[in-house]
Chain A
């Protein structure tokens, strides 16, 4: 068996795979943040709580109604996305004329409420959600075992990210969205209902977070705090990538997941902070972010 810099390949590829999984979640979440930021100009602090809601709603569907993983994959993003639409209509839409910081504060408050409510109901110990029977098992690649479910997560995440990129960059709907990002007043003058576009965009971004939550449910324990710490890392990912480009958010998400995995192999103590260190370096070298436009 060959060794690389004294690290057994099982450990190296295992951590790289783990990094790729984390990267899938970073990419999905930062994509949602970037889509929402593009049109609403707010940072959705509730994103982590909505990711957690996604995992919890999937668990509830199974636990209370007996609805399994495959239906949850469809129902949950729609259901949580609808709660997002309600929030946007009732509250967030009242802040568009104000400083963007108020949007951050409002969504932070909403995140506290949602997390607090779930913590009251379910405690902090977490609930288990099992891998669907079709995806149990692993592939033997010769040098390592690749669990089917993890492969599935990476594939779904990559497909959804590319699909979103395609819709936004290559379709007519995406053209409306990009135009509304540049100049909402002018787009409205062409007869496009910009407020409805904004609402649906928020709902879509929230749906992406919820989808990430469903994907995460069988891997991580479903608990009320699962989104809170993750979202801060995703913020760092967003700062590194810059929110100017959809593809940038995707590439940065997967890339940083891999870097984090590599760090866990070579310098485990640094794995929790490596993304923040990279953020500091990017701020020094290219403050606008790797894919960002200087505002």
Chain B
């Protein structure tokens, strides 16, 4: 897996012009933006906003797994705690939406710094278990802490007025605010991946001892990417809290951590556009299968199993191989 991505990275690096982004990627981003601008007029805006939030969440997760090579099984902790803090800030402190989102994101960043700093002391599957265990700790905290509302969560979170001026009560206005956040987030992730910092990360992912011997302080890079990933996951979680006007235990539960892994795996780990496709596919599936109860879990498990056994490159990974272009 790593070797394939490496060669593709080289191709994209050589084809990237002075603008920093290859033409193909520019075209795809433009097409996605056009699609997203048209979507609320054809689909239910809240559904599309849900897709957007999970797209950002999955891309943030992929930043860590696909480019940092670190499998966190506890990303719900950052998504969910940011969701709680943003909801609390908007409802109890009465902050404006952009400040509430900033508060949530900052909380996720702080949590990511603490947990990430501890988790990177182990590698591989231990890393996955440590992150999962910390996320479970956050879950228990959210279950018991007074301000999270226990089983009820924080409900009826006001959407408020953007900068205190523009009301976000209309779904469509909120939609464009959410789209702006998510698209900025995606471009930021793209920038991180293709920066010198991102290149060092890939080197660490592919051959850590080599990177150490070249003089890189590997743990600092790992911590940095962990915090970045947690922060962006927090941005997604805070935004989600405003969209649904709700922060609940679902956001911090381990099933949420599993879902984001599934989205990334299905779309294609280590690809730029894979998590976008994966998140859209999984959220759509959940939407249409919502009436089937526990069958959703069974289907998600089946996708996991098939994905791991037969389809490890993911949808975009396969496309990328067919087109012989890095996507």
- Interface set of A (CB-CB < 8 Å, partner B): 42-43, 91, 94-95, 98-102, 104-106, 108-117, 119-120, 228-229, 232-233, 235-236, 238-239, 269, 272-273, 276-277, 279-280, 283-284, 287, 295
Q: When the two chains form their complex, are residues B265 and A239 in contact, meaning their CB atoms are under 8 A apart?
A: no
Cβ–Cβ contact A276 & B134, under 8 A: yes
Chain A residue with Cβ nearest B305? A109
Do B298 and A108 have beta carbons less than 8 Å apart?
no
Once the chains bind, are B132 and A235 in contact (CB under 8 Å)? yes
Bound complex: CA A229 to CA B136 (Å): 8
B123 partner residues in chain A, CB cutoff 8 A: 295
Contact B140 A105 (CB under 8 A): no
Chain A residue numbers with a CB within 8 Å of B302 are: 109, 113
Instruction: Please name the residue on chain B nearest to A237 by beta carbon.
Output: B133
- Pairwise interchain contact A239-B122, C-beta atoms closer than 8 A: yes
B258 CB contact (under 8 Å) in A101, A108, A236, A273: A108
**Which residue in B122, B132, B300 is a CB contact (below 8 Å) of A283?**
B122
Is there a chain A Cβ closer than 8 Å to B303's Cβ?
A: yes
Interchain CB contact under 8 A, A112 and B258: yes
CB distance from A26 to the nearest CB of B (A): 13
Contact B133 A235 (CB under 8 A): yes
Task: State in angstroms the CA–CA spacing of A6 and B233 once bound together.
Answer: 45
Tell me the smallest distance from the CB of A47 to a CB of chain B, in Å: 12
Known: A43-B125, A99-B1, A276-B137. A111 touches B301 (CB 8 A): yes
Specify the chain B residue showing the minimal Cβ separation from A292: B126
* B103 lies within 8 A of chain A by Cβ: no
Q: Please determine whether B298 and A120 come into contact, CB atoms closer than 8 angstroms.
A: yes
Report the 4 A-B pairs with minimum CB-CB distance, sorted nearest first: A109-B304, A112-B301, A116-B297, A113-B301
Residue B128, interface by CB 8 Å: yes
A109 partner, pick from B144, B294, B308, beta carbons under 8 A: B308
Q: Could you say which of A102, A113, A284 contacts B298, with CB atoms under 8 Å apart?
A: A113
Number of interface residues of B (CB under 8 A): 43
Interface of A is mostly: helix
For residue B299, which residue of chain A has the nearest CB?
A116
Q: Which of B124, B136, B304 contacts A108 (CB 8 A)?
A: B304
A43 CB, nearest partner CB in chain B, Å: 5
B303's nearest neighbour on chain A, judged by CB, is A109
Shortest C-beta distance, A95 to chain B (Å), equals: 7
Docked pose: A45 CA to B300 CA in angstroms: 15
Shortest Cβ distance from A115 into B: residue: B297
For chain B, residues 256 to 303, give those with C-beta under 8 angstroms from any C-beta of chain A. Answer: 258, 261, 265, 293-298, 300-303
For A114, the chain B residues whose CB sits under 8 A away are 301
- Which listed residue (B125, B129, B297, B309) contacts A112, Cβ 8 A? B297
Q: How many Å from the CB of A172 to the closest CB on chain B?
A: 30
Q: Is B141 in the interface zone, CB < 8 Å from A?
A: yes
Report the minimal beta-carbon distance from B306 to chain A, rounded to whole angstroms: 8
Contacts of A233 on B, CB cut-off 8 Å? 133, 136
Contact residue among B126, B136, B258, B308 (Cβ-Cβ distance under 8 Å from A102): B308
In this complex, which of A100, A112, A228, A272 has the most chain B Cβ atoms within 10 angstroms of its Cβ? A112
Shortest A228–chain B CB gap in Å is 8
Specify which of B124, B132, B301 lies most central, judged by the most chain A CB atoms within 10 Å of its CB.
B301
> Residues 302-317 of chain B: 1 if any A CB is under 8 Å from the residue's CB, otherwise 0?
1111011100100000
Residue of A nearest to B143 (CB): A272
- Please, how many angstroms separate the alpha-carbon atoms of A228 and B255 in the complex? 10
Contact yes or no, B301 A283, CB < 8 A? no
- CB–CB A100/B133 < 8 A: no
Interface membership of B118, Cβ < 8 A:
yes
A91, B137: Cβ atoms under 8 Å?
Answer: no
- Chain B residues near A99 (CB-CB < 8 A): 1
Known: A99-B1, A119-B294. A112 touches B300 (CB 8 A): yes
